[in-house]
Structure 1
Amino acid sequence: MAGTRFLVAGTILYVWARSRGSERPSFLNWKAALAVGGLLCFGGNGGVVWAEQTVPSGIAAVLVGTVPLWMVLIEALRPKGVRPTKGVLVGIAIGFFGVILLVGQGGLSAGGSPVPLVGALIVVGATLSWAIGSLYSRSAPLPKSSQLSTAMQMLMGSAMFFVASVISNEWAGLKPASVSLLSSLSVAYLVFFGSLVAFTAYIWLLRATTAAKVSTYAYVNPVVAVFLGWSLAGEAVTIGTIVAAGIIISAVVVITTYRSRKIELKSPAKTVVEEPITNTQRS
């Protein structure tokens, strides 16, 4: 499903971008799209999709809320990156405590059972992949057109999904005749809203503003997913789930707040803070 989603959306967006005069991508562009698409679509989205076979959607969304934490850490570790302040370090510690609480054997549960550790670790790995891909895409040799760049990333990501499905023999379980109308509409929803709208907007924002600000979408995801999982899928919401979610979201808010203050202090008066991280570091 994930491969089909990105293949259809990528094809539509690629044809649309090229028809509007976008330059023909070079081999170097395709290589960069393979790397970014692999990290974002296959590693990030695919990891979450696979893990949600065992991990409730609400808990998965809370874990995905750690994306800003990874972005801060990666930015601090890369050459000439922005080093975190004490406040940011405190926020990171709080965030990881929340994650540990979420997957702890004695803490939270999914429908009365402990959260699957392997599935939870895969989600965390997927968030790390998403953070790396997001930061790398800002400097990768991709086409100038964000629409064309997004299309190429989705196409490369879909290719990886199909290769993985062949290796895992997932195709053997596919029965087209048993695909319901609801399933088809769900895929169509993901193609249009999840890929053509949301993913394209995300890639554009990575170029238009700081990665830390873009990552704040993770604030809303856990709350929405926990509520939808409870109301639509009958997933259990325990006191522990609420506490862990609150800790993780609070940590993300602390990190971004301290990060924004640091950037503002380094920026000249009346300078717009929405400039890319690389430019901010040079100021």
Structure 2
Amino acid sequence: MSAPLLSPEATAAALPYPALAREIAALLADPSVRVPPRLVQPLPGGGSLFVMPATDARVAITKLITFVADNTTRGLPTIQGDIVVFDAATGQRSAIVDGPTVTARRTAAVSLLALQTLAPQAEGPLLIVGAGVQGRSHLEAYLAGLGAQRLHEVRVASRSAASADALVAHAQALGLRARRVDDPDAALADCPLVVSATPAQAVCLRATPRDDTFVAAVGAFTPRMVEWAPEACRDLAARGTLVVDTRDADHEAGDLLQAGIDVAALPTLADALAGRVAPRGPVFFKSCGWAGWDLAAARCVARAQAARG
């Protein structure tokens, strides 16, 4: 029997954000999880091919995706590909799930888990810088995790006014007050929740957040990429708390590496979940991605398949 190929819609339905955040926390406590370093192969056109395997005692995956930052100019997604899911005991392929959908939802679920664990003030207004797929998924994840009463207001900044307006309209359709802002640095003063989810080809934030802010910085996931200015990162390191998603960030967290910060000395999300982080000042959560997050999503998919019989 051939393995089911899940559409983007079916993939999303199997990955509700709060459940996926809980699965990510469970995965970080699972000693059977094995995640080797991902392979990043440069492509001739300037993009990258990512090969990301992972396994636990029951499920094995390989994620195969491409990232091409300027695909928006071609009318194409910046991330394309699939995740192949196997039974770890038999080696049988059990599913092929939509890679971009998993990437969007697991990244936002990781940010939600970090917010729930570390945020000094887990309520809005929320500032989203970057109105693409990740901006939308983070909006939906935070709404699912916090509820409209706590999130209540969203401000969106983007290089594209049309993209910002579209995300504003989506937030309003979800029952939130929302508006576009043209100066994200100025908006930092009013927003205790911040998500930066740009293509990360140039600095877009130079100011520093207020002391009660939780930042999820997800756009820059290679050493060459950057969203936050080096001086802002150094200020955050001096007066706040920096946390990375995993130890893979030691050589991938472009914002922090370009600021000269010793990323290897920073705590991880697993440290925070284990109670080994005492946040002070603004919290800056740097997310670079990890195949373990995709494995958590595959575990959710496997559970949904089992429930359907």
| TM-score normalised by length of structure 2 | 0.25
More strand by share: 2
More helix by share: 1
